Structure 1
């Protein structure tokens, strides 16, 4: 499992020592039921490939900063992850998602599904994430899970949002709010600029709402949500929070 610490200054997710055990993390917590449809049992080759993929996350730059991953307690073929976003439209978001591997992995790509409600062009209302804008065709010998993780993180950056095609979007409303809403900017520049500003302002407001909901106490410490995801968050008292930071060798924050 991955535990977390939270105090007056925020929440931090901490991987435990057995995080990279390819057989999965040791935990006394009962296995939670998967929200994914039941699939045929994975082949030994697929399980071995997934175990190697998880072990490879220890390599430098394979696991993006601010993103934590741990295998589900129920099966190696499902990973639970959390992404902390610090900049952009979704700043301060704490987003939980699941990565599910098909039984014939790596021939087919994994699927990514968010547990939180996320207003985003590439995320459907039920949380399914589209890889198509960044990985058009999955190639088993070329693409890996760390590519998927980097795609997930990059999807919340403006330069990636700017390049999204509507055909790849699973939330058309979010796409239409984000993109340039008027087709003839040179003919009607004043109208165009006004509508573009209104559109991006609406998108930014909904993205901010996503962030606010995701980092609210009701979302972070929701026990029902934890039953569907292996990432637990625990709110600590200020004294305990300080002791944990000291134990980990973390410096005090300097407030300007």
Structure 2
């Protein structure tokens, strides 16, 4: 199942290094949110447990949790397992408008910097190629999550129009010098796995910035082994080489 609903006390989560932090706004009290919007968002979050609402996959690929400050903000982390962005750990935020579902949520990646045709330098992700136009009675959050996952695959990259691209250079390289695009996409993946991106350990650029609902923390070797044993995970072993 692609999306897993994560409890707030998750043991292994991240606060990455964002290039541009999403705008800081005062928390909206639950009573201030329109009842229809509040009910719709709550039901859609609960529905993510439904198997048919998640892309099929052997491994969990996305975690989603509402911000403790506002139901209108969801923090998400996406693990990419294949393609140009293989092994990337990408964090993004869904921000719902107060008139949702009449208008779509805003998607902003906070992992610094994802080299992708549909992602701007500030992390904004363009939903338009999939939702043209947004239909409030038809489109739901799980459709958005499906599109985010699909957008990192080759078939989606092949079909993206230049007019929809927020990063024109990524689009140009993908179509003219694929090897250069692949190198920069791989670099994005490597940077997303770095300690400064994953952990807020002595990272000066994170001072004064709000914590999201999915902070990663680094485990000591003994803590990691205890966690692996608890989860029933086996140690990785190299296969013997054949002579």
Q: Above 0.5 in TM-score? A: yes
Matched, 1:167 2:150: no
Residue by residue over 1:158-206, the C-alpha shift from the partner in whole angstroms, topping out at 9 and shown as x without a partner, is 1110110111111111111112x3xxxxxxxxxxxxxxxxx11111111
Pair 148,2 (structure 1): closer, same or farther in 2 beyond 3 Å: farther
SS in structure 1 of the partner of residue 40 of structure 2: helix
Structure 1 stretches of 4+ with a deviation exceeding 4 A read: 36-41
Q: Which is worse superposed, 240-249 or 163-172? A: 240-249
SS in structure 1 of the partner of residue 23 of structure 2: coil
Matched, 1:176 2:164: no
Equivalent residues in 2 for 1:185-200, closer than 5 Å: 199-200=177-178
1:222 Cα deviation after fit: 2.3
Cα distance in 1 between the residues matched to 2:120 and 2:27: 21
Cα distance in 1 between the residues matched to 2:122 and 2:77: 17
1:34 Cα deviation after fit: 5.9
Q: Which residue of 1 aligns with 2:4?
A: none
Cα distance in 2 between the residues matched to 1:140 and 1:209: 37
Equivalent residues in 2 for 1:66-215, closer than 5 Å: 66-116=61-111, 117-179=113-175, 181=176, 199-215=177-193
1:247 Cα deviation after fit: 1.5
Residue by residue over 1:114-162, the C-alpha shift from the partner in whole angstroms, topping out at 9 and shown as x without a partner, is 0011110000111000111222211111111001001111111111101
Pair 108,220 (structure 1): closer, same or farther in 2 beyond 3 Å: same
1:250 Cα deviation after fit: 3.1
Q: CA RMSD in A?
A: 2.3
Q: Which runs of 5+ in 2 are unaligned?
A: 1-7, 15-20
Residue by residue over 1:77-128, the C-alpha shift from the partner in whole angstroms, topping out at 9 and shown as x without a partner, is 1000000111111111111100000101101111100001111000011100
Cα distance in 2 between the residues matched to 1:53 and 1:142: 13
Q: Which residue of 1 aligns with 2:231?
A: 248
Q: Which residue of 2 aligns with 1:188?
A: none
Aligned length: 213
**Does structure 1 retain, via aligned residues, the 8 Å contact 2:22–2:108?**
no
1:230 Cα deviation after fit: 1.9
Q: Which is worse superposed, 129-138 or 76-85? A: 129-138
Between Structure 1 and Structure 2, whose CA radius of gyration is higher? 1
SS in structure 1 of the partner of residue 159 of structure 2: coil
Q: Which residue of 2 aligns with 1:17?
A: none
Cα distance in 2 between the residues matched to 1:104 and 1:252: 48
Q: Which runs of 5+ in 1 are unaligned?
A: 6-12, 15-32, 182-198
**Does structure 1 retain, via aligned residues, the 8 Å contact 2:27–2:69?**
no
SS in structure 1 of the partner of residue 37 of structure 2: helix
Cα distance in 1 between the residues matched to 2:126 and 2:200: 26
TM-score, reference length from structure 1: 0.76
TM-score, reference length from structure 2: 0.80
Residue by residue over 1:22-51, the C-alpha shift from the partner in whole angstroms, topping out at 9 and shown as x without a partner, is xxxxxxxxxxx9635679853111011000
